[in-house]
Structure 1
Amino acid sequence: MDSLDTMRAFVAVADAGGFAAAARLLGLSPPAVTRAIAAIEERIGTRLLQRTTRVVRLTEAGTHYLVDCKRILAEIAEAEASAAGSHGEPAGQLAVTAPVMFGRLFVAPLVFDFQARHPRVTARLLLVDRVVDLVEEGLHVAVRIANLADSSLSAARVGWLRRVVCASPGFLAAHGVPVRPGNLEGRDSIAFGGGVSPPGWSFPVAGRTETIGVAHRLTVNTADVAVAAAVAGRGFTRVLSYQSAAEVAAGRLVIVLEDFEPPPIPIHIVHPEGRRASARVRAFVDYAVERLRAEPSLQ
């Protein structure tokens, strides 16, 4: 095998979790795949895989090598497609990640419609409420709701989100409408976060930040549950504006303290390949940017 074939064999073993499964995928014998991996390890002088009778695991060096192999093989495939004249037609797998609720409401419909326009594109959509390393997890595009730090990622801002405090009309009628952040002190609330109640809610007041000690009667780790609890009259909750938009529009929640909201949070589409991005990634990014910038609830 040449260097590229041995790279393909290594990727197959890593993805399949074993030599026999990789051999079946590649149409080779297990001894041929074993020799290919041994040749790589001898050539670069380090162990890439830990082998036991039951499982094959990547070493630390193997993990880094796998990322590089996948990148190199993808670039070669893209170069061959370009030489064949198919570079401009979106095709192949598109892997996208986004926060769970935002992904369900906005990104999944984008992916569905994009595939309808480009039937040669297959898609993988990873919805998680954490920052994902695109290269390490084999992803092409991410939606990030945050102020971005400097990085090598290409980014396009597509909108803004407010952080809003809201409650049900019935709760406000029973307990009063707050007119300043201090009115929330000790009031029933629903905390939305990583499962640990925050010490309080911070607001910009007269040029400084004021932290209010609200009473978190319920702490949840998903925004939809926090919103549902607020609709049920369990107290105030603080979420991003899109997360409560449907209930606000239906009159089941009311936003309060709008004059004391922190600066809005930007929404970005990011991807790691810049101008070298494949046709499918460039096409999806352009499509997603146009669609999200036209969404009134994100502006």
Structure 2
Amino acid sequence: MDLSFDGRVAVVTGAGGGLGRAHALELGRRGAKVVVNDMGTSLSGDGVESGRAAIVVKEIEALGGTAVADVNSVATTEGGEALIRTAVSAFGRVDVVVNNAGILRDKTFQNTGPDDVDPVLDVHLKGAFNVTRPAWRIFREQGFGRVVVTSSSAGFFGNFGQASYASAKMGLVGLIKVLAIEGRKYDIRANAVGPVALTRMTEGFENPLADRLDPALVSSVVAYLCHDSCELSGEVLSAGAGRVARVFVGMTRGYVNGSLSAEDVRDHLAEVFDDTGYQVPGNSLAEMELLAEMLGK
């Protein structure tokens, strides 16, 4: 059975091009009413070309779908509130939030200043807060909601010259972990996707797989994570070129010594790093439970 979004309303940020456009088209094609949010800025977040969102709306309508454009900035609390008001005003509700908006200000760490950090955090990380918070109130009241954030392998594994971007992207993982816990009893699911796709953000990088990196292949994963039937929450999925894989933070059993010294750490690194029987804690309390077990408490 096809995954339908009939009756659902989805907000997609950064949907004027690239991944966000692909997500909006996929959700619209499957029956969701879509709010296409995009200010039309450059990759660095400068300038405004507000017509981008309207173009994607027309594309969704050409597929037989329903959509409206929104050009509010996700980087402010007021912009996030206004975006969700657009959804409620146009369609009477909101069910799905896809936090995809992002900018780049890449520099090596020694050359990174506040102007290279603050705007990136404002759009990627704070933007997810700004948009999801007003939607969250609605999700709790209606007993349903889906949140997807666009994270990145730069955050999971690091990448040269992307300290601010990587920090924002890994911050989003922490956010969905908490949202998954707090939203569980309201049927609110929150997950992250780490896309591998050819977009204007990645055009400058040499990639031998470029012809295989259609953003629509990532959108298939996003659509599943947004659907009513998805039971995953607090998960991170890497998606690209038709491959889907789980990315996770695991913990080894480690070495324990109630009188631990620096020398003990040095001498027992093999046990500290031995990943045999590693665990993936469901929350921070799970680490305490493992520690208690190893201490015989």
Query: Same fold judged by TM-score > 0.5?
Result: no
Higher relative contact order (CA 8 A, sep 6+): 1
TM-score range, shorter chain: under 0.3
Which is higher, the Rg of structure 1 or of structure 2? 1
TM-score normalised by length of structure 2: 0.28
TM-score normalised by length of structure 1: 0.28
